Amino acid sequence: MTVQHKPQAARAVQVPAPMAMLAELTHRCPLSCPYCSNPVELTRKEAELPTEAWLDAFRQAADLGVLQVHLSGGEPAARRDLTELIAGARDAGLYVNLITSAIGVTRKRLEAFDAAGLDHIQLSLQGTNPEMADMIGGYRGGYERKMQAAAWIKELGIPLTLNTVLHRKNLHQLPRAIDMAVEMGARRIEVAIVQFHGWALRSRAALMPTLEQAEEASRVVAEARKRLKGVLVLDYVPADYHTATPKRCMGGWGMTGLNIAPDGQVLPCHAAQTIPHLTFDRITERPLRDIWYDGAAFNAYRGDDWMQEPCRSCDLKTKDFGGCRCQAMALAGDAAATDPTCAKSPLNAAVRAQAAEDQQGDGALVYRAFEDATKVPFGTG
Amino acid sequence: MTPVLPRGVRLHHDRVRDRWVLLAPERVIDLDPIGHAILSEIDGASAVGEITDRLAVKYDAPVEQIGGDVREYLAGLADRRFLDMVP
Ligand code: SF4
Ligand code: SF4
């Protein structure tokens, strides 16, 4: 492919070196959460990058300036070479974080990860009891296995963050989730209200939190931050459908981090594949440095040349960067539009009306699945 | 009180940007020379007082002044769970 090559000096935006890389090692996963951030078209095992390609990607990333790598999926533990990948990322000089459901991870494997130099684990929590967690994850018995793994992580002393995704069905469990994080010895909890792109859009009527829930969540988080100061750090992503301001897009598109998909496509954001006109370079075909500085997808929404009104003349554009490109794509049909969750978007009234309708609805959960698989809730993955 | 960097928090030289940082879960904390000097003294055994004394000698500054700065800096890190204070 041909990409316009602009030397650094001629560029309108000074592009800093990336700080973080999300390595989506696989799309395979025992769970099938309806809000999965993987693309709707999942990559199969046969198309996954081999070990050596990942190890090379870690070295290239570290040379480029990346300091932290997040090993994610799908379920990264579905890769049999995970221990080797952890060791390789550490060797490259990276801080290695594992984002996992921990389901099916044995104590022996956790010990191997630990010995390979794993810095930190982010454990996902779908619910605070088996009924909720197994219903959301679509995997019976998953909760018990996760709790077992959490106990091992604590015994081994591997630093832990608990990751929760909250929505209408489980938002009432937030106070318990915070208590569980403390009991597990986590130093941090991520409280994220579900974001709607990809899979989650299909279950919007089942997942959309009510306005009352969104407000209650903010209250619970504020109270816990005070009460647990010095014990547990709370990182909070509030519901953007219910506020007048959109979610800020990282430090700007293509400015702080990059993602590598299981098949080696290098993405500016985990949801970038929902923007159909973007094309992505592959780590196996082009040096990472060139992809970061000159790749078409990375340059697509850097700076503000691409912005339309009302963002273009808005003071907040350097703060929120016009909101989420993927949400603009999903809701406005144009990735360069103002994020429709912004009160200044001409579509905002319609978005709010839809959200109000969705929160009354009782739509079914649509679970993520490989295209030809018939995944039934409570299957065994 | 003895300051200890817990597992999962590491002092790291960022060779690409030629600076010192503290690497922590989902966070990179940029260290100025003072922050780096304080963190370099943390060895898991020295108490806050000993660290202060060493820095006072090294930078030829009054212990009272350095002590306040060190305490405040460490407390800030401890609040964010980047540092444990062991009695
Ligand atoms: S108009 Fe654009 S820049 Fe201004 S607040 Fe809304 S999304 Fe942000
Ligand atoms: S475009 Fe949206 S999903 Fe992607 S990084 Fe920005 S805010 Fe996140």
Over the stretch A209-229, which tens digit does the pLDDT of each residue have? Answer: 888 899 999 999 999 999 999
Confidence at A8, pLDDT banded by 50, 70, 90: very low
C-beta neighbour count of A18 within 10 angstroms:
22
- Per-residue pLDDT tens for B23-49? 999 999 999 999 999 999 999 999 999
Most B CBs within 10 Å: which of A119, A122, A191, A292, as the mutation test of the B interface? A119
> Is the pLDDT score of A274 beyond 70?
yes
Question: In this structure, is residue B49 part of a structural domain?
Answer: yes
Cβ of residue B68 closer than 8 Å to a chain A Cβ: no
Cα-only R_g, chain B = 13
The annotated binding site of A for [4Fe-4S] cluster is made up of: 29, 33, 36
Contact A95 B7 (CB under 8 A): no
- Total domains in the fold of chain B: 1
Q: Which of A21-25, A203-207, A235-239 has the lowest mean pLDDT?
A: A203-207
Question: In this structure, is residue B74 part of a structural domain?
Answer: yes
Q: What is the pLDDT of residue A198?
A: 74
> Could you tell me which residues come within 8 angstroms of residue A59 by beta carbon, excluding any fewer than 6 positions away?
A92
Question: In this structure, is residue B60 part of a structural domain?
Answer: yes
Question: In this structure, is residue B54 part of a structural domain?
Answer: yes
Q: What is the pLDDT of residue B11?
A: 96
CA–CA separation, A13 vs A302, rounded Å?
7
Question: In this structure, is residue B64 part of a structural domain?
Answer: yes
Expressed in angstroms and rounded, the spacing between residue A173 Cα and the centre of ligand 2 is 26
> Could you tell me which residues come within 8 angstroms of residue A282 by beta carbon, excluding any fewer than 6 positions away?
A263, A264, A265, A266
CA–CA separation, A258 vs A23, rounded Å?
9
CA–CA separation, A212 vs A289, rounded Å?
46
Instruction: Tell me the H-state helices in A92-210.
Output: 107-115, 130-137, 142-156, 174-183, 204-207
- Per-residue pLDDT tens for A131-149? 988 888 888 888 999 999 9
Domain that holds residue B25: 2-82
Confidence at A127, pLDDT banded by 50, 70, 90: very high
- Per-residue pLDDT tens for A95-111? 999 999 998 899 999 99
A interface residues, B as partner, C-beta within 8 Å: 17, 19, 63-65, 67-68, 93, 95, 97, 119-120, 122, 157-159, 161, 187-188, 229-233, 235
Q: What is the pLDDT of residue A12?
A: 64
Cβ of residue B76 closer than 8 Å to a chain A Cβ: no
CA–CA separation, A55 vs A92, rounded Å?
8
Q: What is the pLDDT of residue A371?
A: 63
**CATH code, domain with B44:** 1.10.10.1150
Q: What is the pLDDT of residue A19?
A: 97
Q: Residue A196 in 3-state DSSP?
A: coil
Determine the atom of ligand 2 nearest the C-alpha atom of A248.
7
Q: What is the pLDDT of residue A368?
A: 76
DSSP secondary structure letter of residue A16: P
At residue A265's C-alpha, the angle toward residues A376 and A66, to 5°, is 110
Place of tokens 């579509």: A347
Question: In this structure, is residue B55 part of a structural domain?
Answer: yes
- Per-residue pLDDT tens for A41-73? 888 888 999 999 999 999 999 999 999 999 998
Contact B7 A158 (CB under 8 A): yes
**From B8, B28, B78, residue closest to A159, measured CB to CB:** B8
CA–CA separation, B28 vs B9, rounded Å?
10
Tokens of residue A65, six digits: 């300036």
Q: What is the pLDDT of residue A134?
A: 87
pTM score of the predicted model: 0.90
- Per-residue pLDDT tens for A148-161? 999 999 999 999 99
Contact B79 A67 (CB under 8 A): no
Question: In this structure, is residue B19 part of a structural domain?
Answer: yes
Q: What is the pLDDT of residue A31?
A: 85
> Is the pLDDT score of A195 beyond 90?
no
A101, A146 Cβ separation under 8 angstroms: yes
Does any ligand 1 atom lie closer than 6 A to the CB of residue A320?
yes
Place of tokens 């999942």: A42
Question: In this structure, is residue B87 part of a structural domain?
Answer: no
> Is the pLDDT score of A6 beyond 60?
no
